[in-house]
Structure 1
Amino acid sequence: MRVKGEAKRLQEAGIQPTGDLLYTSGSGLDPHISPASAQAQINRIAEVRSLPPEQLQRLIAQHTQGRFLGIFGEPSVNVLSLNLALDRF
């Protein structure tokens, strides 16, 4: 039920739900999301932050981390560091 409700909420906000936007980590404190999840939110965040989407694209790229040791896991966006960078604008 929670996942369906969250999917509906995201869709109503104009965001295409992705897995990591629907599910939380065990602690609920994971500061990383997939690049696809960050991309899905660009227009909304750009509007709220009064930034051009292209500038937000660059910031997302700057805060995207590659695979651990180049082979483990998937690339991810560090949301904490991205938000701190956005706060400087």
Structure 2
Amino acid sequence: LGSDPMWRSHAQAQLNRVAQARGLSPDQIQPLIKQHTDRRFLGIFGEPGVNVLKLNLALDQL
């Protein structure tokens, strides 16, 4: 995936491309996106952000 942090909606948009590039199914990646998504600031501000570094490291372990 791209630069850190990334909005969750952008990670979702790249899901199929990343799955194909890594030889994985989107169903394998989806839980990792959720696991590495930070909450909104104070629960209401901004978009949930995906920690791309941690997500890519987790994907490397598959």
- What range is the shorter-chain TM-score in? 0.7 to 0.9
Q: Which has the higher contact order (CA 8 A, sep 6+)?
A: 2
Aligned positions, number: 61
Unaligned runs of 5+ in 1: 1-20, 22-29
Unaligned runs of 5+ in 2: none
Root mean square deviation, CA, Å:
1.6
**More displaced stretch, 68-77 vs 79-88:** 68-77
The alignment's TM-score, normalised by the length of structure 2, stands at 0.84
The alignment's TM-score, normalised by the length of structure 1, stands at 0.61
- Rg larger for: 1
Question: Aligned partner of 1:43: which letter?
Answer: N
> How far has the Cα of 1:69 moved from its partner?
3.2
The percentage of counterpart residues that share the same residue type is 59
The correspondence for 1:49, drawn from 22, 36, 60, is: 22
Matched, 1:80 2:44: no
